[in-house]
Structure 1
């Protein structure tokens, strides 16, 4: 049995463990914190600081494949250098990450490649979205409807140079993952993303409802961006469909959370396993063209009187997760649930023949939880336009 080393036990580590165990690999997770979400899911969990080069090198020597699952640039550089020193396969591209981890650098790349993206303020109207340049996706995202509130925010939180300030666009959001190795690229199934009221992704749906012609354009954007950042690893690209046109919101050249697990549940394709193998076909959309089963992949917070669908952040702050099957009617779940717990969280993984049937099954799962736990209130909130 091959062994994979997953460095980082938070949400990206959870997905890496889930996927590689599905592929039949032995999983080892390392994190300096004990109670990280992936600690109980892995076959082996090692609690030490990844910057301890002696311990890192010793564990790297006995594995076949390395997946960094964190976003600290200093630590990522150490991991990559050690992996290359030991001639170990690693799914990470440091030069690509240095561009993608900065929204400002990424946006300049979109402009240079003439890839559509949201307009920057002040060359756009209110409402606007304000977000930091170097944090993931939905972290610290703010929306302002007028100049007065925006200027009050800047007085408290620093000058506008510290923030990415762009037009707010209405429309559905989508993600696509791309891997590149030895000059060959593959894009995977397009996923549809739904956000909670704080712009944190709460649900991934497969297959997406994006028309096939736009999926092709999306794949072309991804390959163009991957080539521009000299990708040798994995990257995800997120877009919004606004007035019939795809606009790129961000890129991230590291293993994502959520989307690849949903893609696996729909298509049985495991992106990290594909990367580890020798890529031979030149058809970049080989996996994107697979329609797959319907999937609903969502996060819930359950208390004594309420079920609330929440952004994925709730899965990272509630301790170790367990991977269970047939969870209140869901195919699978990642959860800290115990029968006597008054408050618990779960990522529900639900699939069926098509998306419509998967959604009906999702509704049945929610009703089952409400019935068994005697809960009346169910909240599923979206951002306010």
Structure 2
């Protein structure tokens, strides 16, 4: 099977990695010649699919399916129109994405479905969070503690040409779950913990979540299925929530292939979300059995610069140059990295798995120690969000 992946940044890295693990041949297309996923593909093309549609259509017509791995609305719309009446399936639901990309629309849907979310301004008081309606993840998000910071946050969103969403700031573990739908029914996948850096960017994913309340887990699966079935989702989405005072508050859902969490799910459970998505939308087979855990995995970004090693968020890791997949490096299971012996500065995504969360954690600790010892690193900086200091 040959999978066309359009987008070469973080989602492209994730898609190319999972496709390789599923045994698919991959074609990765991106308009940027330095997009990191290009080096992970069997074949790559530097091409703007919006400006060069005929060439893009010709290249993608040789694929068994196409997976968009980007959040550029113009590109996604072009792909939807290009492949809608073709014989090449598109593993993406543009209508669902258009709802999820608007926090105003998605928050209204969750309110209508009685999905618990952070309280809106002004009833929530301070501290609060100001975020752009049309961005996902931590992009443009700022915590505000008073009226002055709120005004500055609102101006910043206005400068982004976005509508502002203001909600209560909730503290607690950040968790995520993917849901895959075939347009008629939806299946929740595996819960993961998303660990954040000081910029509230994902630096680590843990699967499973240690000592997680099974009732909260069931509630999150139900919320995800309820949203996906209301959307009539024909694709994949992820739902992100904060566990606050023992209950889940859903922050957002995004109807597109996520980055980071699927690789952790694969190494912890053996479940490949790209393969499940392909089976659902191409083969017409969606397994509705809720997956069980068989092991554990930790997925973590680092950057090395001289004698200093830092944990880093996904945004910093995305600056990696020509990454390769290296098995067993420094005692890890695998790394996605631009490391080379003698190189002073390099990035890595470290994947460590085990039969239990403790075994995976011990392997991760040993891996970091080996990196420091063999690269003569004297300092390790692990940044955390302000609320954890």
What residue number does 2:382 align with? 380
Instruction: Name 1:28's counterpart in structure 2.
Output: 27
Report the CA distance shift for 1:332/1:162 in structure 2 as closer, same or farther (over 3 A): same
Where 1:190 maps in the other structure, the secondary structure is strand
SS at structure 2 position matched to 1:233: strand
Give the structure-1-normalised TM-score.
0.95
1:176 aligns with 2:186: no
User: How do 1:249-288 and structure 2 match up within 5 A?
Assistant: 249-277=251-279, 278=283, 280=285, 283=288, 285-287=289-291
| Residue correspondence of structure 1 range 188-203 to structure 2 within 5 A | 188-203=189-204
SS at match of 1:222: helix
Q: How many positions carry a matched residue from both structures? A: 381
What are the ranges of 5 or more consecutive residues in structure 2 without an aligned counterpart? none
Partner of 1:369: 371
Distance 1:318 1:214 in 2: 36
- State the match for 1:102 in structure 2: 102
Give 1:281 shift: 6.4
- The equivalences for 1:53-64 within 5 A come to 53-64=53-64
- Give the secondary-structure state (helix, strand or coil) at the position aligned to 2:242: strand
Q: Deviations over 1:284-323 (max 9, x none)?
A: x522xx1121111000011112111111111212322111
Structure 1 residue 383 displacement after superposition: 0.7
Runs of 4 or more, structure 1, over 6 Å off, are none
**Counterparts of 1:156 and 1:48, CA distance in 2:** 32
Give the CA deviation at 1:377.
1.0
Tell me the alpha carbon deviations over residues 31-89 of structure 1, each in whole angstroms, 9 at most, x when there is no partner: 11111110110000011111111111111221101100011111101111212221212
Alignment-derived partner of residue 186 in structure 2: 185
The answer on whether the counterparts of 1:179 and 1:185 sit within 8 Å (CA) in structure 2 is yes
What secondary structure does 1:307 align onto?
strand
Which of the numbers 217, 221, 228 marks the counterpart of 1:219?
A: 221
**Partners in 2 of 1:81 and 1:12 — Cα distance?**
21
How far apart, in 1, do the equivalents of 2:252 and 2:73 lie? Answer: 18
Contact 1:185 1:282 in 2 (8 A): no
In structure 1, what is the Cα distance between the partners aligned to 2:240 and 2:33?
Answer: 32
TM value normalised by structure 2: 0.94
Find out whether 1:93 has 2:93 as its counterpart: yes
8 A Cα contact 1:37 1:315, kept in partner: no
Contact kept in structure 2, 1:184 and 1:280, CA below 8 Å: no
* Deviation at residue 276 of structure 1 after TM alignment: 1.8
1:217-248 per-position Cα deviation (integer Å, ceiling 9, x unaligned): 11110011001222100100001111111111
Displacement after TM superposition at 1:148 (Å): 2.6
Q: Deviations over 1:327-358 (max 9, x none)?
A: 11111011111222221110001111111111
**Partner secondary structure for residue 310 of structure 2:** strand
Query: Deviation digits for residues 83-114 of structure 1, max 9, x if unmatched?
Result: 22212122100100000011111111111111
Once the two structures are superposed, what CA deviation does each residue of 1:171-217 show, in whole Å capped at 9, x if it has no partner? 11110001111413221110011000000011000111322222111
RMSD: 1.7
